[in-house]
Amino acid sequence: MTRSLIICLVLLCWGVLAYADNASYSHQYQVEIEAPSPLKTLLENHLDIIKWRTNPRMSPSEWKRLSAEAPKQIKELLATEGYFSPEVSVQSTQNQLENLTTLSVNPGTPTVVNSVNITFSGDITQPHRDLPSIEQLREEWPLPVGTQFQQAAWTAAKRSLVTKLLVNRYPNAVITDTKASIDIQQHTASLELTVDSGNTVHFGELEIEGLERYPESIIHNLNPIKPNEVYSQSKLLTFQTRLQESGYFRTVEVTADSKAALTDQQQAPIKIKVNENQSIKVSTGAGFSTNTGARTQLTVEHLNVFDRNWRLTSTLRLEQKLQSISGTIRLPTTASGYRDSANIAATRTEIEGQTTTLTQAGVKRAWGSLKREQYVGANLLAEHVNLDSADSSDTYAATLGYGITLRRTDNNLNPTRGYLFNAQFNGAPLASLSNGTFLQSYLKTQAYYPITKSTQLIARAELGMVSGKNSAPATFLFRAGGDQSVRGYGYQSLGVTEGDAIVGARYLTTGSIEIIQWLTPEWGAAIFTDFGNAANSIKELKPVYGYGLGARWKSPVGPIGADIAYGQATDDYRLHFNIGVIF
């Protein structure tokens, strides 16, 4: 028993010593690369001698083999970057204490493109005015004469060229032949491509799959593609987006069978697969806003009211400063693209000493795409206002309204370049149906500009005016302050003082300048200045200022921000949260 125990202890000690010896020995293998910085990084990421140097099973003979193979691998890697005649030297130091391999690399002269010859065949060679054209494709070729030849750039340029054909008119386009001829002595590359665009493809009939509750007219009315229209991938994406945003479907897939066009007179059927939402959906939610406080919400949706495919959305919303109950019926989009709706709502707000109870009902017609959306509407409303230390009032109005929104940004959720513009006009034209006539005009714009790749400028401006005698309901008057207005001040705390309350004014102006420094692709820090106010005359419209710092996160649902702002006029600090692009 004792003898067996001694043998086990000896074997265990031997194993531990052998492992420790191998572990320490593995760290003796080192590599030094002497090369220009960008190429050095490339070699460090891909050379076998780098990858295997810390392997516990590394031996002197294996290290010697990897050192001998390194020059060949270096030349192959540098060739992908356009260096076809590099000079590589290897110096090895190997003893019991150190195994060091030094790789000295002189990449030589880079290879540049000296000629590009792109040959086309197919329908693109026929005379037509539509894009893409041969001239445009050659002019926009991403690897022109004089640029450094790189394998990755060569591959990307070919992909870019054929993609421009695939997304418009020619979904069956292919590159039939390519050749890059390298002159090592002259350090030049001659590029040749042969591209077959194939035939021009037109859209065919709709092939719909998955409908059970709703008629096909819902899909046909949302279709932006005209009969026999030339193939366009962007049209398919627009069609899919419209169907997804309609509310009737859980999932949507819109594709065109371009291969069928090869045998069907260049007609590509549009295939639509949908998965319908349930007719009735109930959802609840909770949240918090620095404007109106804690919130809880109950929403009930019925997607097929009276079996006419009308969408009813009923919402009960309870917040600390705002309570509301509302119902909206949306009709299916018409064949002409009109989106009609009707709504009724009751809302109570209690802000800055003013308690407003509003009941309203109205109808609305909207049309246009996300880039240019317009609406007209008509509303009946009755309003009761209670003020702290002041008389209460009742007003009613029958109003007509028009609005337009322009969106010209590079990304709808997280824009970095472009602008947004909104204009709204609401008025009571008939004194017999209101306490008096008035017109409310409101303009808002927001611009995005990338100062550098990681620094972004956001500027915002807002103007409002109510004309007519003092007959407009409080709902149509203006107050400023809060998350999307002048940060550093309470929500709607800037306006006209009446009694112990802050009430709405006839004129409004606010603005903001914000700079965001993105520290990572998703996270950034912001510095901003806000200004603005509301008053009953332009002469009294003196802006107050707010300054602050904030954090930004590019979330999947849009930008999320948290700000700390200082209100100069109140000498106070406030915390603000905001989510998404409010427009």
**What's the rounded mean pLDDT across residues 39-63?**
85
pLDDT of residue 264: 60
User: By CB neighbour count within 10 A (0-12 exposed, 13-18 middle, 19+ buried), where does 542 fall?
Assistant: exposed
Q: How confident is the model at residue 16 (pLDDT cuts 50, 70, 90)?
A: very low
Q: How confident is the model at residue 21 (pLDDT cuts 50, 70, 90)?
A: very low
pLDDT of residue 227: 86
Q: Tally Cβ neighbours within 10 Å of residue 115.
A: 11
Q: Does 479 have pLDDT greater than 90?
A: yes
Closest by CA to 560, choosing from 528, 523, 529, 515, is: 523
User: pLDDT, tens digit, for every residue of 219-263?
Assistant: 998 999 988 899 999 899 989 988 998 889 999 999 998 887 677
**What's the rounded mean pLDDT across residues 144-154?**
92
- Report residue 229: phi and psi, to 5°: -70, 150
- Report residue 291: phi and psi, to 5°: -85, -55
Distance of CA 172 to the CA centre of its chain: 30
**What's the rounded mean pLDDT across residues 426-452?**
95
**What's the rounded mean pLDDT across residues 499-521?**
95
pLDDT of residue 95: 65
pTM: 0.70
Q: Is 306 helix (H, G, I), strand (E, B) or coil?
A: coil
Q: How confident is the model at residue 553 (pLDDT cuts 50, 70, 90)?
A: very high
**What's the rounded mean pLDDT across residues 135-149?**
92
Task: Give the β-pairing of 496-498 and 418-428.
Answer: unpaired
Closest by CA to 523, choosing from 551, 498, 496, is: 551
Average pLDDT along the chain: 89
User: 3-state SS of 213-255?
Assistant: CCCCHHHHHCCCCCCCCECEHHHHHHHHHHHHHCCCEEEEEEE
Q: Does 20 have pLDDT greater than 90?
A: no
Place of tokens 């294996």: 62
Domains of the chain, each with CATH number or no CATH: 18-106 (3.10.20.310), 112-196 (3.10.20.310), 202-276 (3.10.20.310), 396-579 (2.40.160.50)
